[in-house]
Amino acid sequence: MFEIDLTLNEPFRLESGEVLDEVKLRATVYGRLNEDKSNAVLVFHALTGSSRIGDWWNGLMCNGCALDTSENAFICVNYLGSSYGSTSASALKKRRQKGGKAELPIITTRDIVRTNVLLLEHLGVKKLKSVIGGSVGGMLSLQLAVDFPELAEHCVSIAATPLSAMGLALNHLQRQAIRRNDLELARKIAVVSYKSPRKFGERFGRNPNRNGEDPKRRRDDRFDVGGYLDHQGDLFRNRFEIESYDLITKAMDLFDLTDADISRVRARVSFVGISSDWLFPAADVRALRDRFVRRGVEARYHEIESEDGHDAFLSDLAATSRVLRHVLGEPDEEMTVASYVAHRRGLGQLRGCYKVL
């Protein structure tokens, strides 16, 4: 793998009309771009991810994996306004201070897609074999297929639709927690929406917190699921900017698709739902596929069978790998699961792979 830090050499006009004087982009490339740059796959990370695909799809992307680095070059660009190397939300806010009260700009999925396209231009990539992403990354894959119809042959959108009223409600509550400077609570609300009730039940049940707290005896002692959520909140505080969270959830809110948008799509589209997802229900993903088909797009629906909820595309890698192999046209299903299991067991079989990257 190698990393790119690119500073755009001209001002960047946002969809809102506002112009950003300077935009920096951090990108990571896994595998090798071939001579004619015809083997590029663009990957969009999720809300709190980075351009380092290997950090969050470890086990899905390697030599021989569903995302096969022996054949393709996988490119991921950290979102404009995220916290991992591209111009961050807090930097954007600071620069707007001069006009009086500092406020974040509105960045849209359109804007983020355009920064990705500029990065591809820098690499000399004019055509993508695929564009792939999950959750907000799935929104961005679709946005790219709408805004740059000739760019990608194949668009894979996992667990994503325009946000439903329930999704908008949950983002609203998270941003209200942020207004109180409580990024941890925002994250915890999000984590609840990413998991399935069944998974929570299996993992935590009604057990008291494993550190020995006793909720029956002390008011503030927690059940195990409470301890887990607090831990997730604490981890998050140290790895993500509150302004980035604010900015990207707003971009998610605004992502929408009109029939005219859909009619512009030329890519073949693979929609992937997750059976236990209640934030982006599988039925909604399937319904979106139907809208694409009605507008003449070649679109198919696939499903990740998993109890992990919305998170499954990041946590249930065996199930996700199986579906991605199928979607990307790889016949050898068994190997994934076996190699994934080997990896999980720490047998080192895949470790070597990762070192090559």
| Residues of this chain, 201-230, that bind a copy of itself according to CB under 8 A | 201, 203-206, 215-217, 219, 222-226, 229
**Residue 73: both structure tokens together:** 């070059």
C-beta of 283 vs 341, nearer to a copy of itself: 283
Q: Between 237 and 344, name the residue whose CB sits nearer to a copy of itself.
A: 237
- Letter string b/e over residues 319-350, b meaning 16 or more CB atoms within 10 A of that residue's CB: bbbbbbbebbebeeeeebeebbeebeeeeeeb
Cβ distance to a copy of itself smaller for residue 153 or 256: 256
Least distance CB 63 / a copy of itself (angstroms): 39
User: How near is the Cβ of 3 to a copy of itself at its closest, in Å?
Assistant: 31
- Residue 288 C-beta: closest distance to a copy of itself, Å: 13
5 binding a copy of itself? (CB under 8 A): no
Residues within window 15-54 making contact with a copy of itself, judged by CB under 8 A: 16
Of 231 and 351, which CB lies nearer to a copy of itself in the complex structure?
231
At 128, is the secondary structure helix, strand, or coil? strand
Binding of a copy of itself by 103 (CB under 8 A):
yes
Closer to a copy of itself by Cβ: residue 3 or 290: 290
What is the x/- site pattern for a copy of itself, positions 59-98, by CB under 8 A?
----------------------------------------
Judged by beta carbon, residue 278 or residue 354, the one nearer a copy of itself is 278
Interface residue with a copy of itself among 6, 123, 173, 342 (CB under 8 A) is 173
Contact 76, 42 (CB under 8 A): yes
Q: Helices 109-123 and 136-147: crossing angle, nearest 10°?
A: 70
Q: What are phi and psi of 173, to 5 degrees?
A: -65, -35
Give the interface size with a copy of itself as a residue count (CB under 8 A).
46
- Of 180 and 355, nearer to a copy of itself (C-beta) is 180
253 part of the interface to a copy of itself, by CB under 8 A: yes
Residue with tokens 């969050």: 56
Residues carrying an active site annotation: 135, 277, 310
Query: Residue 293 in contact with residue 265, Cβ under 8 Å?
Result: no
Q: How far apart are CA 288 and CA 295, in angstroms?
A: 11
Describe the chain by its helix, strand, coil percentages, rounded to 5.
Answer: 45, 15, 40
- Pick from 18, 68, 147, 182 the residue near a copy of itself by CB under 8 A: 182
Burial class (CB in 10 A: 0-12, 13-18, 19+), 68: middle
User: Nearest distance from residue 303's CB to a copy of itself, in Å?
Assistant: 18
First and final C-alpha spacing in the chain:
5
- Alpha carbons 89 and 203: distance in angstroms, whole number: 35
Give one DSSP letter per residue of 34-75, joined into a string.
Answer: -TT---EEEEE--TT--S-HHHHSTTTEETTSSEETTT-EEE
CA pair distance 133, 131, nearest whole angstrom: 7
* Contact (Cβ atoms closer than 8 angstroms) between residue 77 and residue 64: no
Asked whether position 287 contacts a copy of itself by CB under 8 A, the answer is no
- The answer to whether 169 contacts a copy of itself (rule: CB under 8 A) is yes
| Residue 101 interacting with a copy of itself (CB under 8 A) | no
- For binding to a copy of itself (CB under 8 A), which residues are involved? 16, 103-104, 106, 162-166, 168-170, 172-173, 176-177, 180, 182, 185, 188-189, 192, 195, 197, 200-201, 203-206, 215-217, 219, 222-226, 229, 250, 253-254, 256, 278, 281
